[in-house]
């Protein structure tokens, strides 16, 4: 993939030796489905995508001036892709040897859809337009056999397939899914694809780009990338890993929007896009992926890029403090799901920038306070986990939220700070009661005492209970206590637990045996057991159902855990690298079972999922940097100082919430009964004796609550209560059993 670092707003991706999507004028707006290349003569025609004999070349790993070289027994075709730094134009210099002519078929999906596109030929130039998006295909050599038709009926491929050569010469194809066909009138030259809001503008861009010397434009392109990559500082344990790290950094930079700087989309790709248009692409900003990208750029010493990402995130924050599940680079929300970790990650990024001494952005404090207010009100349960599939209390989400509550301290007022830190201590102390199980069938099978689950779903008893709906599996369920994932590793990554903690190591034993799959690339991991997001066993693409495949980024998470347990993660880095595509791109998933050559599926190699995935490249960079630093890039000094990899000895008070009720309160703790709206607490003790009503008061950062101090709870065997709201009684009673105070118990919180 490639883009220029000038004022132009165009991004091009490559797959199977052809041009895939072209995005314009933003990374969130794909305009071209693909541009395919063919060789033709009187005897035969060659579909280069189907032959798939090519190699890719760039001047250096950090200089994305991409050349595609197709080769066969009687031909070689070189295609040099060059986005013009000053114009919204993709230039393609071609050189063909052999007794063939070069033909191209362009499939516009203007306005991000194949519907209702208009195409026409005029004065030896091909055009397509839909509303205010237009593309022009021209060249510095004559274009011959120009035609436009409807895909599947009168397009160039249908012509070649039916006649063995190009015979169609249609001048118009209106209001449909269209394709443009052209044949170069020479064996070398430069093609130009220009984009604008009108056909006239697209033509002007394309022709003025051709008027400049290709090599001069290429020099400007390379100079800008040289200047950016000169600032990179990355470890280089060997040439392959060092080059891959620099390429990964370039991939992260390529995904930054030009119209909206700091907006980085998750991937300039459409998973299983060769088979469908209905699943949608990843060309949206996910706050989680964007923040992890920023951490990787910080690790590579690209501080300004990381600061730009935070700036964009700050503007996209919603009024209540959370971020949309994902949004277009413009900031317009797309999916409406709520994920607690996506509200917490920008706080961690702001804290890390502060830790590095990087100049603070205006209004950072306001952003942090709003985000922390949302975390306090929403947590510890999240409507969606990081895989965007289920609600509950996830070790991953909880780790990020707790770290954010601690990291926010410098921006909070005194009362707010005490509340946030106390809540963090409470959640950190209680997280095993929500997310850790013992003596299950799975534990006994693997000879361990217990393990962290993918997420807890505490019921009214406060215990992990029930079953979990498996998304993408047609309504199947699994017991919550039997569902495991790599999510727990972030408890260690962010400094809440130690790598050698018995519970962590036991969970690692279970995960290694349940989720790891050995491939020629190395040991890789599934997201969780019984995942349904991936190709079917017979290789059919994911269509809303399927079977989960192995994720290279999870190898990076396993490598971080190895590092924090005292091991060298070099093998995990090399495994991730072996998963890369021909061009060095890291995919979302790899195929993880027997090869299906006719479908291009080979174990340990990219599947039809998103590629590249920014999350994968960011994880690779961060693991490489962490290996050199001896600590994760995301680990904050403030969190490390407060917890040192362990739960606090005793949170001063526990927070009773309907999602995470308290059944037994350890002695010496206070109890804060909370809700998100005003209420009156109807309170009794020891079987509803000494009943009284207490009006909840507004807490720092937004909740409503009634606090019962540890002193007040002395001598109470059973606390009884229910709540009355403006709409009436809640309709159920609750009970809490305060425990006796241990003589050595201290009421002070740590740090």
The CATH number given to whatever domain includes residue 123 is 2.70.98.10
Q: Please check whether residue 706 lies inside any domain of the structure.
A: yes
Q: What is the mean pLDDT of residues 554-565?
A: 98
Give dist(CA 663, CA 461) in Å, integer: 7
- Cβ-proximal residues to 333 (8 Å cutoff; 6+ apart), any chain: 318, 324, 325, 326, 327
Query: Tens of pLDDT along 720-731?
Result: 999 999 999 999
159 and 304 part of one domain: no
User: At CA 381, angle to CA 378 and CA 384, rounded to 5?
Assistant: 95
Kindly tell me if the per-residue pLDDT of 750 is higher than 80. Answer: no
592 and 662 part of one domain: no
Q: What is the pLDDT of residue 676?
A: 95
Locate 536 and state its tokens: 């079917």
Q: What is the pLDDT of residue 748?
A: 37
Continuous segment of H or E residues that includes residue 126: strand 125-130
Give me the DSSP letters along 568-624.
Answer: -THHHHHHHHHT--TTSPPPS-B--SS-BGGGTB-TTSB-SS-SS-HHHHHHHHHHH
Q: What is the pLDDT of residue 460?
A: 45
Least confident of 51-55, 359-363, 695-699, 745-749: 745-749
Q: What is the pLDDT of residue 747?
A: 36
Query: Tens of pLDDT along 460-488?
Result: 444 555 788 888 887 888 888 999 999 99
Kindly tell me if the per-residue pLDDT of 451 is higher than 90. Answer: yes
* Cβ pair 86, 8 in contact under 8 A: yes
Range of the structural domain that residue 362 is part of: 231-269+281-643
Q: What is the pLDDT of residue 624?
A: 98
How many angstroms separate the first and last alpha carbons of the chain? 48
pLDDT range class, residue 646, cuts 50, 70, 90: confident
**Of 228, 258, 292, which residue constitutes the final position of a domain?**
228
Kindly tell me if the per-residue pLDDT of 277 is higher than 70. Answer: no
- How many residues can be counted in the chain? 751
The CATH number given to whatever domain includes residue 432 is 1.50.10.10
| Nearest residue to 482 via CA among 452, 505, 512, 524 | 452
pLDDT range class, residue 508, cuts 50, 70, 90: very high
Q: What is the pLDDT of residue 471?
A: 83
* Cβ pair 108, 161 in contact under 8 A: no
Kindly tell me if the per-residue pLDDT of 372 is higher than 90. Answer: yes
* Cβ pair 191, 184 in contact under 8 A: yes
Q: What is the pLDDT of residue 751?
A: 30
627 and 693 part of one domain: no
3-state DSSP assignment of residue 272 = coil
How far CA 222 is from CA of 5, 13, 225, 227, in Å, comes to 9, 18, 5, 9
3-state secondary structure 63-109: ECCCEEEEEECCEEEEEEEEECCCCCEEEEEEEEECCCEEEEEEEEC
Give dist(CA 130, CA 491) in Å, integer: 49
Locate 512 and state its tokens: 């290694």
| Nearest residue to 749 via CA among 405, 244, 322, 304 | 405
223 and 244 part of one domain: no
41 and 175 part of one domain: yes
- Cβ-proximal residues to 61 (8 Å cutoff; 6+ apart), any chain: 243, 244, 246, 247, 250, 584
Instruction: Burial-class residue 690 by CB neighbours within 10 Å (0-12, 13-18, 19+).
Output: exposed
| Nearest residue to 617 via CA among 284, 245, 60, 235 | 245
Q: What is the pLDDT of residue 459?
A: 54
> Dmax over Cα atoms in the chain, in whole Å?
99
Phi, psi (degrees; rounded to nearest 5) at 29? -130, 85
* Cβ pair 427, 494 in contact under 8 A: no
Kindly tell me if the per-residue pLDDT of 689 is higher than 60. Answer: yes
> Is residue 257 left, alpha or beta, with left meaning phi > 0 and alpha meaning psi from -120 to 50?
beta
Locate 336 and state its tokens: 């409406």
Give dist(CA 610, CA 586) in Å, integer: 9
Give strand ranges (E) for 625-715.
Answer: 653-656, 664-665, 670-675, 680-685, 689-695, 697-698, 704-708
Q: What is the mean pLDDT of residues 511-534?
A: 96
| Nearest residue to 586 via CA among 628, 620, 634, 550 | 620
Q: What is the pLDDT of residue 456?
A: 86
Q: Please check whether residue 747 lies inside any domain of the structure.
A: no
217 and 318 part of one domain: no
Q: What is the mean pLDDT of residues 212-223?
A: 97
* Cβ pair 697, 679 in contact under 8 A: no
293 and 357 part of one domain: yes
Give dist(CA 195, CA 178) in Å, integer: 17
Q: Are strands 664-665 and 734-738 parallel, antiparallel or unpaired?
A: parallel
Q: Please check whether residue 345 lies inside any domain of the structure.
A: yes
How far CA 221 is from CA of 81, 212, 590, in Å, comes to 11, 13, 33
Q: Please check whether residue 276 lies inside any domain of the structure.
A: no
Q: Please check whether residue 749 lies inside any domain of the structure.
A: no
- Cβ-proximal residues to 161 (8 Å cutoff; 6+ apart), any chain: none
**Of 617, 643, 669, which residue constitutes the final position of a domain?**
643
* Cβ pair 680, 694 in contact under 8 A: yes
Q: Is this model's pTM higher than 0.85 or not? A: yes
Q: What is the mean pLDDT of residues 526-555?
A: 95
DSSP secondary-structure letter at 659?
Answer: T
Q: Please check whether residue 382 lies inside any domain of the structure.
A: yes
How many CB atoms sit inside 10 A of residue 612's CB?
Answer: 29
Query: Tens of pLDDT along 181-217?
Result: 999 999 999 999 999 999 999 999 999 999 999 999 9
Kindly tell me if the per-residue pLDDT of 432 is higher than 90. Answer: yes
Q: Please check whether residue 748 lies inside any domain of the structure.
A: no
Q: What is the mean pLDDT of residues 309-327?
A: 97
Give dist(CA 742, CA 311) in Å, integer: 49
313 and 250 part of one domain: yes
- Cβ-proximal residues to 744 (8 Å cutoff; 6+ apart), any chain: none
The CATH number given to whatever domain includes residue 723 is 2.60.40
Phi, psi (degrees; rounded to nearest 5) at 149? -150, -175
Q: What is the pLDDT of residue 466?
A: 76
- Cβ-proximal residues to 219 (8 Å cutoff; 6+ apart), any chain: none
Instruction: Burial-class residue 73 by CB neighbours within 10 Å (0-12, 13-18, 19+).
Output: exposed
Q: What is the pLDDT of residue 373?
A: 97
| Nearest residue to 108 via CA among 180, 48, 37 | 180
Q: What is the mean pLDDT of residues 142-169?
A: 95
Q: Please check whether residue 159 lies inside any domain of the structure.
A: yes
Q: What is the pLDDT of residue 279?
A: 54
Q: Are strands 653-656 and 670-675 parallel, antiparallel or unpaired?
A: parallel
674 and 593 part of one domain: no
544 and 688 part of one domain: no
Q: What is the pLDDT of residue 746?
A: 39
Phi, psi (degrees; rounded to nearest 5) at 389? -125, -35
Instruction: Burial-class residue 718 by CB neighbours within 10 Å (0-12, 13-18, 19+).
Output: middle
Q: What is the mean pLDDT of residues 411-438?
A: 96
187 and 298 part of one domain: no
482 and 493 part of one domain: yes
- Report how many domains make up the chain: 3
Give me the DSSP letters along 167-222.
Answer: -----EEEEE-EEEEEEESSSEEEEEEEEESSHHHHHHHHHHHHHS-HHHHHHHHH
What is the average pLDDT value for the chain, to the nearest integer? 94
Query: Tens of pLDDT along 73-118?
Result: 999 999 999 999 999 999 999 999 999 999 999 999 999 888 899 9
Q: What is the mean pLDDT of residues 24-35?
A: 94
């Amino acid at each position: 993939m490639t883009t220029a670092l000038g004022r132009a707003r165009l991004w091009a991706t490559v797959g199977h030796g052809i041009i895939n999507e072209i995005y314009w004028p933003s990374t969130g707006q794909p305009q071209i489905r693909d541009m395919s290349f063919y060789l033709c003569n009187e005897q035969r025609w060659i579909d280069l995508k189907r032959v798939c004999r090519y190699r890719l070349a760039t001047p250096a790993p950090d200089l994305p001036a991409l050349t595609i070289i197709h080769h066969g027994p009687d031909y070689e075709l070189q295609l040099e892709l060059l986005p013009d730094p000053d114009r919204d134009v993709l230039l393609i210099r071609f050189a063909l040897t052999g007794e063939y002519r070069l033909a191209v078929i362009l499939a516009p999906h203007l306005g991000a859809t194949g519907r209702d596109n208009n195409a026409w030929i005029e004065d030896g130039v091909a055009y397509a337009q839909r509303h205010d998006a237009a593309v022009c295909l021209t060249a510095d050599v004559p274009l011959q056999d120009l035609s436009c038709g409807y895909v599947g009926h009168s397009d160039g491929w249908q012509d070649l397939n039916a006649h063995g050569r190009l015979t169609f010469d249609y001048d118009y194809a209106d209001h449909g899914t269209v394709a443009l066909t052209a044949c170069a009138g020479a064996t070398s030259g430069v093609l130009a694809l220009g984009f604008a809001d009108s056909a006239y503008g697209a033509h002007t861009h394309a022709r003025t780009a051709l008027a400049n010397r290709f090599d001069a434009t290429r020099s400007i392109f390379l100079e800008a990338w040289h200047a950016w990559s000169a600032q990179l500082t990355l470890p280089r344990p060997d040439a392959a890993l060092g080059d891959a790290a620099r390429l990964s950094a370039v991939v992260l930079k390529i995904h930054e929007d030009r119209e909206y700087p700091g907006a980085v989309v998750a991937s300039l790709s459409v998973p299983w896009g060769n088979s469908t248009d209905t699943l949608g692409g990843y060309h949206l900003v996910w706050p989680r992926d964007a923040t992890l990208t920023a951490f990787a750029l910080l690790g590579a010493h690209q501080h300004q890029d990381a600061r730009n990402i935070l700036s964009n995130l700050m503007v996209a924050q919603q009024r209540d403090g959370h971020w949309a599940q994902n949004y277009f680079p413009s900031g317009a929300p797309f999916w409406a799901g709520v994920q607690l970790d996506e509200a917490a990650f920008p706080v961690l990024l702001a804290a890390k920038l502060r830790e590095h001494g990087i100049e603070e952005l205006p209004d950072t404090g306001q952003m942090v306070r709003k985000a922390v207010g949302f975390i306090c009100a929403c947590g510890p349960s999240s409507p969606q986990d990081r895989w965007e599939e289920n609600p509950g209390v996830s070790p991953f989400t909880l780790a990020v939220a707790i770290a954010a509550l601690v990291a926010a301290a410098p921006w909070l007022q005194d009362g707010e700070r005490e509340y946030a830190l106390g809540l963090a201590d409470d959640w950190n102390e209680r997280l095993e009661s929500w997310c850790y199980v013992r003596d299950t069938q799975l534990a006994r099978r693997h000879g361990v005492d217990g393990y962290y689950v993918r997420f807890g779903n505490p019921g009214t008893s406060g215990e992990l209970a029930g079953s979990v709906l498996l998304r993408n599996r047609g309504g199947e369920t699994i017991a919550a206590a039997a569902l495991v994932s790599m999510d727990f590793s972030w408890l260690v990554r962010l400094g809440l637990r130690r790598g050698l903690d018995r519970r962590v190591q036991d969970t690692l034993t279970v995960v290694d045996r349940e989720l790891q799959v050995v491939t020629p690339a190395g040991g890789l991991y599934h997201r969780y057991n019984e995942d349904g997001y991936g190709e079917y066993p017979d290789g059919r693409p994911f269509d809303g159902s399927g079977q989960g495949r192995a994720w290279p980024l999870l190898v990076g998470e396993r490598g971080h855990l190895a590092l924090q347990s005292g091991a060298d993660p070099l093998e995990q880095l090399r495994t991730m690298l072996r998963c890369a595509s021909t061009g060095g791109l890291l995919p979302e998933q790899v195929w993880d079972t027997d090869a299906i050559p006719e479908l291009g599926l080979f174990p340990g190699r990219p599947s039809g999922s998103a590629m590249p995935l920014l999350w994968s490249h960011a994880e690779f960079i961060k693991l490489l940097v962490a290996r050199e630093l001896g600590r994760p890039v995301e680990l904050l000094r403030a969190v490390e100082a407060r917890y040192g990899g362990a739960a606090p000895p005793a949170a001063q008070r526990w927070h009773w919430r309907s999602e995470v009720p308290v059944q037994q309160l350890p002695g010496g703790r206070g109890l804060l009964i909370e809700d998100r709206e005003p209420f009156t607490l109807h309170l009794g003790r020891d079987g509803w004796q000494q009943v009284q009503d207490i009006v909840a008061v507004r807490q720092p950062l937004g909740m409503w609550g009634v606090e019962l101090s540890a002193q007040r709870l002395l001598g109470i065997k059973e606390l009884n209560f229910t709540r009355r709201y403006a709409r009436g009684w809640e309709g159920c009673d609750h009970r809490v059993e305060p425990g006796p105070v241990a003589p050595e118990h201290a009421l002070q919180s740590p740090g």
